[in-house]
Structure 1
Amino acid sequence: MDQSLSSYKTFYTVASTGNISKAAKELYISQPAISKSIRKLEDSLGVVLFNRSSRGVTLTEEGQLLYQHVRSAFDTLSDAEDQLKLAGTLGIGQLRIGVSTTLCKYVLLPYLQQFILLYPHIKISITCQSTNQTLRLLEENRIDVGLIGKPDNIKPLHFYPIGEIEDIFVATASYMDNLKLRSGNSGPNILEAATFMLLDKENMTRQYIDDYLLENKIQVHNLLEVTTLDLLIEFAKIGLGIACVIREFVHPELEAKKLIQIPLGIPIHKREIGFAYMKNRHCSQSMEHFIHYYQSPDSSCFSISE
């Protein structure tokens, strides 16, 4: 575009009013300034845009053609301004969240339930991936915020902890009884005959548990890899093996004795979970609303049942 937007605004106003004097009042500039702007635009385009007379100005054929396009452009800009004002008034926006399937079900959903009541016009999209994949999506700006386990490197992130989780091993009482019969003892070596059920290697929890098993010299001979915590819990409940799960998410099963915790001598350290977003990214209004919401004491949706 060879001319500035102000030149077309001047042309548009003169064409709409049909009078340079009226256009000058509307634009708060002098009549000579308007005449100069119009002449400059005509010289640049190589056409005459207005027929001048003592009663005002009228558009030439070329002026009519330009006016149709300029009017359409300014109508579009006006619509955009109206949409922005409406978005500001109603809080319309978009929020992209990344989270693992487990944390989505047990932690994120209660947060969203209350957040949606406060901001019903924010469109929310959720990408369920592992914590490692969520971190990659944050780096690539494909999501705005992630609900993750605290990573080792948080320098590029704003990380706001909302609670702790504890990994434990569980099984049914009948599975452990049968395991003792098969192995012929109840000592520590009994676990070598067990089927261990863990999340797949893409999951940060699995990497954390692998380090724990290696550090404590716990041998795993029979391994079943599962993609979600819900499946681990269900497989453990039918007596398929010993599953590594998160204590806070199997509290009802432990209370009802559908599952029992397997003592391993050395407990697994608790891990922090929280919301994270990149430090070097601009936060949209929707994101600012969400940050303010989850940092508010009233939004403490994640709690550990005892």
Structure 2
Amino acid sequence: MDINFEYYKIFYYTAKYKNITKAAAALGSSQPNVTRIIKLLESQLNCHLFIREPRGLSLTEAGEKLYSHVEIAYRHFVNAQEEISGQTDEERGTIELGATETALHLLLLDAMRNFKTSHPKIRIKVHNYSTPELLQFLSAGKIDFAVITTPFKTAKFYQSETLYHFREVLVGGTQYQFLCERKLNLQELQNYPLIGLGRGTATYDLYKDFFIEHDTDIELDMEVASSDLMLPLIQSNLGIGFVPEDLASPLLKKKRLVQIQLNASIPMRSIQIVSDKDRRKSAAADIFYQYLKANNYSKCTKN
């Protein structure tokens, strides 16, 4: 099947914006021309790619499938173009970075600020999702590499290295001061509202296994989609929860949180940098990848 590559470019922008007018503006084209090309592409592929809705367009199942491939291909074309046009200047390009919320706050925000100071022409696009979702993005080629939190299952094509070890602590708002009088068993936590990341996250899997190892089960009273929400909710006395010690420490010192001791040792966790060893990184991505490895090994601590 011989289809003009320009059709896929027009499809990409139409699918990206889900709006003919915006796609035409981005392409420097006209609405009738974009509509005509989309119809030609649908005719050649023998399927419908879009559904017209009152607020714009939505992708059909076939459209979603095509976009998942075209999006990756288009990004690779753009990155290759940037590399070739800027081959006399290695300090250019775009990095597609996958990062969990915890990795961002414990390590990447500082790292990116310092990196951008010394590499101002390199752009960084941050894809902020859970560890399992980012591994799917990596497998699909949607990101250059991921900086994620353990635990996670490794595949043969993953190459992972530790950047940072961290410990989590159980904390509560000031109304839970009475729980600090003695060490608690995990079973006793069922008597108090527990706040945590929900199913489908590495954090939930870690604590699910931790509780099962101690003959009990984790029961979340409040599930949050982002670890960013944990501390404000806990600080508001809505429950207790496990959070990285580095993030809780300032609030513990200000006595806005209290630390609750357990009889069981909370598992150590780490932040890992993960890449697809069979896929070549762009020049910009490789510069940042090497920067992270070189600048954060010193932060690692022994278990």
Taking structure 2 as the reference length, the TM-score comes to 0.64
Cα distance in 1, alignment partners of residues 120 and 294 from structure 2: 18
Structure 1 letter corresponding to 2:144: D
Larger Rg: 1
Secondary structure of 2:262's match? coil
5+ residue gaps, structure 1: 1-79
Counterpart of 1:120 in structure 2 is: 120
CA displacement 1:183-221 (0-9 Å, x = unmatched)? xx9975643320011111121111101111121124555
In 2, Cα distance between equivalents of 1:102 and 1:268:
17
The letter for the 2-side match of 1:153 is T
Asked whether the equivalents of residues 195 and 239 of structure 2 are also in contact (C-alpha less than 8 Å), the reply is: yes
Change (3 A) 1:234 1:290: same
Whether 2:165 is the aligned partner of 1:164: answer yes
**More displaced, 132-141 or 117-126?**
117-126
Give ranges in structure 2 of 5+ residues lacking alignment.
Answer: 1-79
Superposition deviation, residue 301 in structure 1: 8.8
Q: Match for 1:256 among 247, 254, 257? A: 254
Confirm or deny: 8 A CA contact 1:111 1:301 kept in the other structure: no
Alpha-carbon RMSD across the aligned residues, in angstroms, is 2.9
State the Cα distance separating 1:167 from its structure 2 match. Answer: 2.5
CA contact (8 A) 2:146 2:275 kept: yes
Q: Quick check: 168-177 or 157-166, which moved more?
A: 168-177
**Does structure 1 residue 213 correspond to structure 2 residue 214?**
no
Q: After the TM superposition, which residues 277-288 of structure 1 pair with which residues of structure 2 at under 5 Å, given as runs?
A: 277-288=275-286
Identity of matched residues, %? 22
Aligned-pair CA distance for 1:119: 1.6
Q: Distance in 2 between matches of 1:208 and 1:186?
A: 21
Please state whether the residue corresponding to 2:271 is helix, strand or coil.
strand
Map of 1:270 onto structure 2: 268
Cα distance 1:221–1:204, how it changes in 2: closer, same or farther (>3 A)? closer
Question: Which deviates further from its counterpart, 211-220 or 233-242?
Answer: 211-220
Match of residue 101 from structure 2: 101
Q: 1:57-206 residue pairs with structure 2 within 5 A?
A: 84-89=84-89, 91-150=91-150, 151-153=152-154, 155-177=156-178, 188=185, 190-206=188-204
Does the aligned pair in 2 maintain the 1:87–1:93 contact within 8 Å?
no
CA distance change for structure 1 residues 301 and 116 in 2, over 3 Å: closer, same or farther? Answer: farther
**CA distance in structure 1 between the aligned counterparts of 2:269 and 2:81, rounded to whole angstroms:** 46
Q: How many residues align?
A: 219
Mapped contact 1:168–1:246 kept (Cα < 8 A): yes
CA contact (8 A) 2:131 2:149 kept: yes
Q: Counterparts of 2:289 and 2:189 in 1: how far apart (Å)?
A: 44
1:257 offset after TM fit, Å? 2.5
